Amino acid sequence: MAPSKQKKPAQKQKPAAAQAVPKDDMKRVQTGIQGLDELIEGGLPRGGVTLLSGHCGTGKATFATQFIYYGAKEKNEPGVYITLEEEPEEVMGDVKRFGWDMEKLVKDKKISIIKPEITKFDSLKKTIEDEIDKIGAKRLVINPFGLIAAYFANVYDARKALASLRRQMQKLDCTALVVADIKEGEQTFSFTGYEEFVVTGVIVLDLAFKKESNSYVRTLFVRKMEKSNHSLKLVPLEIKPDGLVVYPDAEVF
Amino acid sequence: MESTTVLDMPKIALYTLSAEEYTKRLVSILKRAGKGKKVIYLTTTKPYSQISGMLHEAGIKDKDIFFIDCVSRSLGEKTLNAQNCVFLENPRNLTAISIAINESVKKLPGKKLLVMDSLSTLMLYNDHVTMGRFSNFVINRMRSLDVETVLSAFEADAKSETLRQIAGFVDEVRKK
């Protein structure tokens, strides 16, 4: 990744969006995804909720884990990972190939990975708050949010739930990444199609098919980032032996 | 395309070379243009091992060259033990090539020369519009990073729509 190897980009190579000085005093949280922070004025808005949206196989889980791991390992920002499908052991095991020792960070109480039962959203919120308090977390991942949204009787309740999560994160000064699985062919960025309106930011991961090479190219696009002069360029993304890398200076052909 | 002389050594030049003496002429251009520079050599025509050997024979030292090899993997050659080479899957994936060029330029210190051998091969796999976009991107990027660039193609392709378009992007077109 990424964590220990994150390079400071040369000043003259930064895209225009990254050179712009934010007009407000919004603090930024470095993602740990090499190359991404240049596109969003230095990182995710602190205390905000960002939707990480994409089809299957686009790198969402790796992105989310890298965000948590980098924070705990390199920035002394503990993180809570709420996994609603995979077991915590699987989350930790999946990233061993990148050389990320999640188990040690869990042992050191820098990371907490839990798989709560979803019964009521209020009780889930309470669980999240308790976990954040327990380790003083500054980062949160919920993967996938669609499972929570599916529990609501209608899309408006799901939207309200996310809005309340956003207020909660602001209050706790914790920056959240909420993973949204998108079905092939869908034109929305989330399960209900409303989550994207409520969150602070939307980052879209995708696979672009190239008929010339008869293969797919991984891409990243910042669809929305409040209070940020973010780049609107579709940029290539690669999964390298040590994590995800975004190439803000390259192009997708 | 006619050969014109704007400068002795243009920043970005397109060379159209005869197929018979293609490699020999490219090596001689490289020897001249690469003096005192780190060379990034993108090969889409021959595997790294062959090009490296030919350059070695011509007295060009390995330590001054970094290769981007788009051939070896597609031929199933072993690609593990090369310090000064990155191996790409094939010459079709222009996104991967653009990333490799960018990263190599960033990695190498000092004055640099990019050699793209050759546009003719890339044209086999990519359409005119995509080739135009890709070439324009590489040329502008190298210009902004102050990297001298040698683009090469077979003389037989000189009248193709793609090369005529690229001729408009470069500082000079030379026929060798």
pLDDT tens, position by position, A83-93: 999 999 999 99
Q: Which of A6, A11, A213, A233 to mutate to test the interface with B (most CBs of B within 10 A)?
A: A213
Comparing CA positions, the residue from A142, A225, A154, A141 lying closest to residue A192 is A154
Amino acid at residue number B109: P
A13 touches chain B (CB under 8 A): yes
Place of tokens 């409303």: A194
Q: Which residues is A239 bridged to in the sheet? A: A244
Other beta carbons within 10 angstroms of residue B1's beta carbon come to: 15
Q: From B94, which residue of chain A is nearest by alpha-carbon distance? A: A253
Cα–Cα distance measured from residue A139 to residue A141, given in angstroms and rounded to the nearest whole number: 7
pLDDT, one tens digit per residue, over A143-187 is 999 999 888 888 899 899 999 999 999 999 999 999 999 998 888
B127 touches chain A (CB under 8 A): yes
**Interface ipTM > 0.90:** no
User: How close B94 comes to chain A (CA, Å)?
Assistant: 6
pLDDT confidence bin for A10, thresholds 50/70/90:
very low
Q: Spell out the alpha helix ranges (H) of A98-234.
A: 102-107, 121-135, 146-149, 155-172, 195-198
pLDDT at B8: 52
User: 3-class SS at A209?
Assistant: strand
Please tell me which residue, A63 or B54, carries the higher pLDDT value.
Answer: A63
Which residue in A10, A212, A251 is closest to B92 by CB distance? Answer: A212
Q: Considering Cα of A182, then A70, then A35, then B151, what sign does the dihedral take? A: negative
User: How close A202 comes to chain B (CA, Å)?
Assistant: 24
Q: Which of A206, A212, A252 to mutate to test the interface with B (most CBs of B within 10 A)?
A: A212
Cα–Cα distance measured from residue B139 to residue B145, given in angstroms and rounded to the nearest whole number: 10
What is the maximal distance between C-alpha atoms in chain A?
Answer: 52
pLDDT(A21) > 80: no
Which residue in A10, A213, A251 is closest to B93 by CB distance? Answer: A213
Which residue in A10, A214, A252 is closest to B95 by CB distance? Answer: A252
* Inter-chain touch A247–B90, beta carbons under 8 Å: no
Cα–Cα distance measured from residue A91 to residue A83, given in angstroms and rounded to the nearest whole number: 8
Cα–Cα distance measured from residue A91 to residue A179, given in angstroms and rounded to the nearest whole number: 14
With beta carbons less than 8 A apart as the criterion, state whether B41 and B176 touch: no
Place of tokens 């669809």: A223
B8-175, which class in CATH? alpha beta
pLDDT at A83: 97
pLDDT at B83: 85
Strands A243-246, B65-69: pairing kind: unpaired
pLDDT at A24: 52
Enter the pTM of the model. 0.86
**Per-residue tokens: B127:** 């359409």
With beta carbons less than 8 A apart as the criterion, state whether B31 and B58 touch: yes
User: 3-class SS at B100?
Assistant: helix
pLDDT confidence bin for A101, thresholds 50/70/90:
very high
The series of mean pLDDT values per 10 residues for chain B, 176 residues long, is 50 94 92 92 94 90 92 83 88 94 94 96 94 97 95 96 96 90
pLDDT(A107) > 50: yes
User: How close A15 comes to chain B (CA, Å)?
Assistant: 12
Beta-strand ranges (E) seen in chain A are 28-29, 44-45, 49-54, 79-83, 111-114, 139-143, 175-181, 201-210, 215-225, 235-240, 243-246
Residues of B in contact with A252 (CB under 8 A): 95
Comparing CA positions, the residue from B88, B173, B161 lying closest to residue B127 is B161
pLDDT at B66: 96
pLDDT confidence bin for A12, thresholds 50/70/90:
very low
C-alpha distances (whole Å) from B113 to each of A137, B35, B136 are: 48, 9, 17
Comparing CA positions, the residue from A237, A202, A230, A200 lying closest to residue A216 is A237
pLDDT at A26: 76
A247 touches chain B (CB under 8 A): yes
A240 touches chain B (CB under 8 A): no
Cα–Cα distance measured from residue A95 to residue A65, given in angstroms and rounded to the nearest whole number: 8
